[in-house]
C-alpha cells in the first residue's frame, strides 16, 4: 500500500519540491496550498491537492477531513512546512504583527499536528516532520518574529518528542540554512504589509534589509536547492530510527557547532555580522 503524506505550503520552494519528488517515488501525496490558484496548478501538474490555509482553523479542519475521507482515516506522515518570515526590528513588531506571524508559523502547525496525532495513535504509527530553520536555534537581527516562531516550533517539537516516546510516532525537526525558494520574495511582501519603515528608528537599516530581500539569485553563500531538504525528509520518513534533528547547509552545521562552544557574547558578534552582511 502507498504511504500517505500531507504536506503544507506546496505552492513553491521546499514544499513544491518535496511534494513532486515524493509523488514520483510512489507516495500518496496530499499537496496543500493556501491559495486556490496554487491548488489548481498542483492539480494540473498531476498532484492531489487541497486548499489549506494555516492561518484559518476552518480551512485546516476541512483539509484534514477531506484527507481522512480519501484515505479511510489513515495517514502515515505530516510535513509541516508552510510558513513565511516577517522581517523587522523587534521594536517595530506590533502585537498584531507578532500574532499573525505565529498564526501561520506556529498555531496552524500545532493545530494540524493535534488533528493528525489521534489518527496516528489509533493506527499505531506515524511521522511528523517540522521544517524549522537554523533560525530555530540562533538569532539574527531583523528576524525577531520569524526567530521566535521557529524557536516556538523547536520547543513544541522537543516536548512532543518526549511525550511520544514508545508510541511508534516520530517527530523530526529539519533545520535548513539558506535554501533557494520564494522565501525572500514573500518576506519582502510581509515587511511591506506589517512594518511601518518610515516611522522606524531603524529606517536606514531597512534599506539594506530590502536590498537583501530583493537581490536576485542566492543572497548568501552556501545556499542550496530544496532537494537538500528533500534528502532529510526522506530519511525522516523511511529510517526505522529517524533523527530528532536534521541539519541542512554549511551555516546550520557551523552555527550548531559554534553555539555549543562559544559564549553568548562571542556568538552575538558573529551573528550580528552574518545577519547584517546580507
Ligand X SMILES: NC(=O)c1ccc[n+]([C@@H]2O[C@H](COP(=O)([O-])OP(=O)(O)OC[C@H]3O[C@@H](n4cnc5c(N)ncnc54)[C@H](OP(=O)(O)O)[C@@H]3O)[C@@H](O)[C@H]2O)c1
Interface contacts to ligand X, rule CB under 6 A: 8-15, 33-35, 38, 52-55, 81-84, 104, 131, 133, 176, 178-179, 181-183, 186
Q: Which residues contact 154 (CB under 8 A, 6 or more apart)?
A: 132, 136, 137, 173
31-34, long-range: CB < 8 A, 24+ apart: 31/7, 32/6, 32/7, 32/8, 32/63, 32/82, 33/9, 33/82, 34/9, 34/82
Considering the complex, what minimum distance in angstroms separates the CB of residue 239 from ligand X?
21
Considering the complex, what minimum distance in angstroms separates the CB of residue 67 from ligand X?
15
Which of 76, 146, 194, 206 is the catalytic position? 146
Considering the complex, what minimum distance in angstroms separates the CB of residue 1 from ligand X?
28
Considering the complex, what minimum distance in angstroms separates the CB of residue 5 from ligand X?
15
Nearest 10 degrees: CA dihedral of 256, 258, 262, 264?
A: -60
Nearer to ligand X, 6 or 120 (CB): 6
Nearer to ligand X, 11 or 49 (CB): 11
The question of whether 146 is a catalytic residue gets the answer yes
Nearer to ligand X, 5 or 179 (CB): 179
User: In the bound complex, which residue of the shown chain has the CB atom lying closest to ligand X?
Assistant: 13
The C-alpha atoms of residue 44 and residue 48 are separated, in whole angstroms, by 9
Using CB atoms within 10 A of its CB, is residue 130 exposed (0-12), middle (13-18) or buried (19+)?
Answer: buried
Strand 245-248 and strand 4-7: pairing? Answer: unpaired
- Positions annotated as catalytic residues are 146
Amino acid at each position: 500500500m502507498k504511504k500517505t503524506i500531507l504536506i503544507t505550503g506546496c505552492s513553491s520552494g521546499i514544499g513544491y519540491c518535496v511534494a513532486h519528488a515524493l509523488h514520483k517515488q510512489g507516495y500518496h501525496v496530499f499537496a496543500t496550498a493556501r491559495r486556490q490558484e496554487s491548488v489548481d496548478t498542483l492539480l494540473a501538474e498531476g498532484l492531489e491537492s487541497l486548499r489549506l490555509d494555516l492561518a484559518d482553523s476552518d480551512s485546516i479542519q476541512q483539509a484534514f477531513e477531506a484527507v481522512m475521507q480519501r484515505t479511510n482515516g489513515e495517514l502515515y506522515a505530516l510535513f509541516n512546512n508552510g510558513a513565511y518570515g516577517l522581517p523587522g526590528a523587534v521594536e517595530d513588531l506590533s502585537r498584531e504583527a507578532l500574532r499573525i506571524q505565529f498564526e501561520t508559523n506556529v498555531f496552524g502547525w500545532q493545530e494540524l499536528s493535534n488533528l493528525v496525532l489521534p489518527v496516528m495513535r489509533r493506527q499505531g504509527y506515524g511521522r511528523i516532520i517540522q521544517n524549522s530553520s537554523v533560525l530555530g536555534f540562533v538569532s539574527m537581527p531583523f528576524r525577531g518574529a520569524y526567530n521566535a516562531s521557529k524557536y516556538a516550533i523547536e520547543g513544541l517539537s522537543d516536548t512532543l518528542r518526549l511525550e511520544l516516546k514508545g508510541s511508534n510516532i516520530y517527530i523530526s525537526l529539519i533545520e535548513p540554512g539558506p535554501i533557494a525558494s520564494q522565501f525572500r520574495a514573500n518576506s519582502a511582501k510581509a515587511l511591506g504589509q506589517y512594518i511601518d519603515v518610515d516611522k522606524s528608528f531603524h529606517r536606514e537599516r531597512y534599506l539594506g534589509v530590502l536590498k537583501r530581500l530583493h537581490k536576485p539569485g542566492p543572497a548568501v553563500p552556501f545556499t542550496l536547492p530544496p532537494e537538500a531538504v528533500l534528502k532529510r525528509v526522506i530519511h525522516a520518513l523511511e529510517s526505522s530510527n529517524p533523527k530528532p534533528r536534521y541539519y541542512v547547509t554549511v551555516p546550520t552545521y557551523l552555527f550548531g557547532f559554534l553555539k555549543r562552544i562559544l559564549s553568548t557574547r562571542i556568538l552575538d558578534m558573529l551573528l550580528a555580522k552574518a545577519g547584517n552582511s546580507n
